[in-house]
A and B are shown apart, each in its own frame.
Chain A
């Protein structure tokens, strides 16, 4: 019994990164993604009885998250939304196809972070580990905010390419 309990909890915790990626890609907004992620977690708990251990947790989680994204869209003012319903549905389909490799990519990411130049690694850490705003990073590194923004973007692109190059198979298929 105890093992089963923890299996569910571990599934829930180990899928948090994937859940965040999925919800963020559908909404295109960091703050909204966090809100919907929390709502989704709550619903996953409430509907835990519907989930059969051994079946596809990720698929169940993303289906639940999709409904939460749509519910959020209903409540949210139109001007705060980046995408319309049709686009959101397209993004959901495209994301669901890809996220099965998320754990593998997360492991590769750790190696790729080590391979980054010191400068880029410092930048990524300042942004993601220390949580600094761009303007603060720019001040600390004595550079312009726009330059930091560009450099951060290039660092992300380098990481994507590194993870892709080290993956066993293709990560990105063309979206439908």
Chain B
């Protein structure tokens, strides 16, 4: 019999006590038992402490530590120790009350658990100047140095935080975003969830919204539903709350504390890590691609259907994650402030006598010779899909069996910060390049160089140079040449609202 084994007559009494259903008679019995049985008393305290510890561990005990009202008239006569106590009493609350001043960003969070980390995508997070590796988010201050985290609250609220970000988990219904990008999805159970920044307080009424806090301003973007934005009062004037509905966005500047309407940023925030079902995706699958890289946001790896052609995401210095909102779901982010350096597939699908490769592409810069995809390495491979030297136009360059190069180039410079559909086909005779469903150029090509055993790279060449600046999504490779009509049909299935 272990020490925690509870005598049968004591068990129902403790059961009722913990559920708050102990009646007076049972209470008397419990008291009598504790008075006369030291072991029962020890057990009783064991259970009380365990109940309290569990409640604390899981964030059920939210202590509202309200400091007393400060009597400023007498403060000057108090001893020094009392003066600092009263000073912080006026400004500092430990839990559940938010203030901007005197919060210790170096403290290791020791408060109750308010949420948990669901996904960690190349994330490095610190709390109290130490790396935070726990799955729980306790009340306290955090710095997200790199990558992306998905945090889930018991109410069902999900938030995505993208590095670089500084935030404070206050309690189960409030987070303070000092700096960075945050997206929230709030189910009906989570209504009232609040995101606070230096300039405003955003209260949700069941919706999907994003907040970006940078030095001197905050932005709020509503993608679905309804939020209320209350700019914080400035020294010289008060500000009115603004109700935002679907597809509305505002910016609140630190100087004015007024909400000004701005354009909705559809492609800026990571709002989900799910790859949604889409007509375009289904249509691609119906055409039986040899390899389909949907670029989902994953903790590890570059996912492919089928799995055998999966690869690895390459990372380096930077802050933002190697993923971003894609044309559909997530995408591979390369360059800029991100840690993304492209991706590599060691076991690449063979590009042989016929092929098609297509992708949705988002450029944030026109780096010279920036590579979208290539299977060329030192002694192997047959294609490089890249930007032209100086013009910023997309081109496909293939190498034939004689080592000769054949190129197709689009007519237009790639437009920045916009999703484009590019496709390239080779049917054994002609190499064709398509942009947004229209053929840009075709060139005769009698054969392709051997590519068996080649390594595929996305967003970089095999030397790690000529990196793409932007995002790559929905890369599909076929062992046949799709027709112009098929490519045009696929392009038209792209959701116009994403454009």
Q: B8 contacts the other chain (Cβ, under 8 Å)?
A: no
A98-B49 contact, Cβ under 8 Å, with A6-B104, A48-B89 = yes
Contact: B35 with A90, CB < 8 Å? Answer: yes
Partner of B63 from A24, A31, A38, A176 at Cβ < 8 Å: A38
Chain A residues whose C-beta falls within 8 Å of the C-beta of B110 in the assembled complex: 10, 13-14
Binds A, one of B52-60, B249-257, B420-428: B52-60
19 A–B pairs (Cβ distance < 8 Å), ordered by A: A5-B84, A5-B88, A5-B92, A9-B92, A17-B56, A17-B61, A21-B52, A30-B20, A45-B89, A48-B85, A79-B24, A82-B31, A102-B49, A102-B53, A124-B54, A128-B55, A134-B19, A157-B6, A159-B54
Q: A161 contacts the other chain (Cβ, under 8 Å)?
A: yes
Question: Between A and B, how many residue pairs show CB distances below 8 Å?
Answer: 196
Interface residues of A in 33-53 (CB under 8 A from B): 34, 37-38, 41-42, 45-46, 48-49
Chain B residues whose C-beta falls within 8 Å of the C-beta of A57 in the assembled complex: none
Q: How many residues of A contact B (CB 8 A)?
A: 73
Partner of A91 from B41, B52, B65 at Cβ < 8 Å: B41
- In Å, the complex CA distance between A113 and B140 comes to 22
Task: Write the residues of chain B forming the contact surface with A, with a CB cutoff of 8 angstroms.
Answer: 2-6, 11, 14-15, 17-20, 22, 24, 27, 30-31, 34-35, 38-39, 41-61, 63-68, 78-79, 81-82, 84-85, 87-89, 92, 94-95, 102, 104, 107, 110-113, 154
Partner of B56 from A1, A16, A131, A134 at Cβ < 8 Å: A16
Chain B residues whose C-beta falls within 8 Å of the C-beta of A161 in the assembled complex: 2-4
Chain A: minimal CB distance from B134 (Å):
9
Q: A84 contacts the other chain (Cβ, under 8 Å)?
A: yes
Chain B residues whose C-beta falls within 8 Å of the C-beta of A110 in the assembled complex: 57
Chain A residues whose C-beta falls within 8 Å of the C-beta of B44 in the assembled complex: 25, 91
Per DSSP, chain A at the interface is helix
Contact: B50 with A28, CB < 8 Å? Answer: no
Q: A160 contacts the other chain (Cβ, under 8 Å)?
A: yes
Per DSSP, chain B at the interface is helix
A20-B61 contact, Cβ under 8 Å, with A91-B41, A157-B6 = yes
Contact: A6 with B107, CB < 8 Å? Answer: yes
- In Å, the complex CA distance between A131 and B113 comes to 13
Who on chain A is nearest to B37 by CB? A175
- In Å, the complex CA distance between A17 and B53 comes to 6
- In Å, the complex CA distance between A20 and B54 comes to 11
Contact: A25 with B4, CB < 8 Å? Answer: no
Q: A130 contacts the other chain (Cβ, under 8 Å)?
A: yes
Chain A: minimal CB distance from B12 (Å):
9
Interface residues of A in 112-133 (CB under 8 A from B): 113, 124-125, 127-131
Chain B residues whose C-beta falls within 8 Å of the C-beta of A129 in the assembled complex: 58-60, 113, 154
